[in-house]
Amino acid sequence: MSVTRDAVLETLKQVKDPLGGGDLVSAGMIRALTVDDGVVRFVMEVDPKRAAEVEPARAEAEARLKALAGVASVSAVMTAHAAPAAPPELKPQSAKAAGPAGPQKIPGIDRILAIASGKGGVGKSTVASNLATALAAEGRRVGLLDADVYGPSQPRMLGVSGRPASPDGKTILPLRNHGVTLMSLGLMTGENEAVVWRGPMLMGALQQMLTQVQWGALDVLLVDLPPGTGDVQMTLAQKAEVTGAIIVSTPQDIALLDARKGIDMFNKLGTPILGMIENMSTHICSQCGHEEHVFGHGGVRDEAAKLGVPVMAEIPLDMSIRMAADGGTPIVVSHPQSPQAESFRMIARQLIADGNA
Ligand SMILES: Nc1ncnc2c1ncn2[C@@H]1O[C@H](COP(=O)(O)OP(=O)(O)OP(=O)(O)O)[C@@H](O)[C@H]1O
């Protein structure tokens, strides 16, 4: 059994931050953590002037991780990084303070794709991280904005941690891994901090994420939306010019029913629906290869036909997809040649061919 990402983080939390009172994880020193089949990699970002003080902690972290069951190798590298200023706090803002009305083109960002689902847990975030890395593999400049306020999961799925820096106190530097520039509401609030977001606060926070994050020039920004039809979806469509929405659903009736509500909402907001992705389509047993339709089959295809939107892909329910996501390296990166990765790469190529990414 290979080690889990959570076990690695727990171990790193036992190592004291030599520059402050807390531990390496809460100090935000651990960056780009990936855990893949027992291979643990991360970098520690340290002010070069203080590197010597931090080295014993780096060595201790490496030694503790090597002693963990299921760890094959550990690579812990220190990188020079000038002491970051604290990023600006996300403060509640009134709708007025949140900027001008009407959808705006965000400078530097050519296209925005919303990844949505009617219901939680259908694999929307898994699809978003794999799609982002697949687009990056095709040479696109890709950003991923994790706006899932109820359960921001992209930092874990893309193997990034720590609080983003803000050298000037105004703009926020996003994080980057696997060729994807990432910003997440989760990175601004701390992993275990429960945040109750209310409408106006969300509008301000989302606006900040879109306009104050230094995304650089992007061909496409994917926005991983919270499930359902709420304030974030409305705000995004009202504030930014969204190229289109992709709806992720499982073949189950209930998930489909919820997806329908999502489609209705995007129609009302005037956001084009580019297509639906059926996730957890069939289950292929990792032992015997037997194929089973755990959540039914063909539901998404029938529904999409009724609604006149294309089905972009049917992604199987597959253990390797979950393990890759949990380890911080999406399957598109960890096993690029696998049929599972190919399903995501096919969607990426289609989006590019249609001029949508
Ligand atoms: N095709 C798949 N095969 C196997 N596991 C999957 C697949 N898609 C998603 N999962 C797993 O299902 C769980 C839920 O997925 P994910 O977090 O992407 O869902 P979500 O729709 O974004 O949920 P929420 O909106 O509640 O955050 C995760 O553990 C993920 O690894």
Ligand 1 within 6 A of CB of 228: no
pLDDT of the chain along its 357 residues, tens only?
A: 889 888 999 999 999 988 887 888 877 778 777 788 888 888 787 777 888 888 899 999 999 999 999 999 998 877 766 544 555 555 544 444 445 567 888 889 999 999 999 888 899 999 999 999 999 999 999 999 999 877 778 988 999 877 788 777 778 889 999 999 999 877 776 555 555 556 666 777 788 888 889 999 999 999 999 888 888 888 898 889 999 999 999 988 777 888 888 889 999 999 999 999 999 888 877 788 787 777 777 788 888 888 888 999 999 888 899 999 989 999 999 999 999 999 999 999 999 999 999
Alpha helices of 138-184 — where are they, by DSSP H? 154-157
Nearest CA to ligand 1 atom 11: 322
Ligand 1 within 6 A of CB of 243: no
> How far is 213 from 149, CA to CA, in rounded Å?
17
Ligand 1 within 6 A of CB of 250: no
Nearest ligand 1 atom to the CA of 319 is 4
Nearest ligand 1 atom to the CA of 122 is 21
Read off the tokens for 242: 């969204």
Longest C-alpha distance within the chain, in Å?
64
Residue carrying the six token digits 């090597």: 66
- What ranges do the domains of the chain cover? 5-80, 112-353
Residue 270 is assigned to a ligand binding site = no
Closest by alpha carbon to 295, among 328, 251, 247, 352? Answer: 251
Nearest ligand 1 atom to the CA of 325 is 31
Residue 262 is assigned to a ligand binding site = no
Ligand 1 centre distance from Cα of residue 124 (Å): 6
Architecture of the 5-80 domain? 2-Layer Sandwich (3.30)
Ligand 1 within 6 A of CB of 322: yes
Ligand 1 centre distance from Cα of residue 28 (Å): 26
Report the length, in residues, of the chain: 357
Ligand 1 within 6 A of CB of 124: yes
- Under a CB-based contact definition with an 8 Å cutoff, are residues 24 and 15 in contact? yes
Q: Collapsing DSSP states into helix, strand and coil, what is residue 261? A: helix
Amino acid at 89: E
Ligand 1 within 6 A of CB of 328: no
Q: Collapsing DSSP states into helix, strand and coil, what is residue 191? A: coil
Ligand 1 within 6 A of CB of 318: yes
Helix axes 299-307, 253-269, angle to 10 degrees: 30
CATH of 112-353, one of 3.40.50.300, 3.30.70.260, 3.40.1050.10, 3.40.1440.60: 3.40.50.300
Q: Please report the ipTM that was assigned to this predicted complex.
A: 0.96
Model pLDDT, residue 198: 62
- Under a CB-based contact definition with an 8 Å cutoff, are residues 76 and 42 in contact? yes
Report the relative pairing of strands 112-116 and 244-249 from DSSP bridges: parallel
| DSSP letters for 272-319 | PEEEEEEEEEEEE-TTT--EE-TT-SSHHHHHHHHHT--EEEEEEE-H
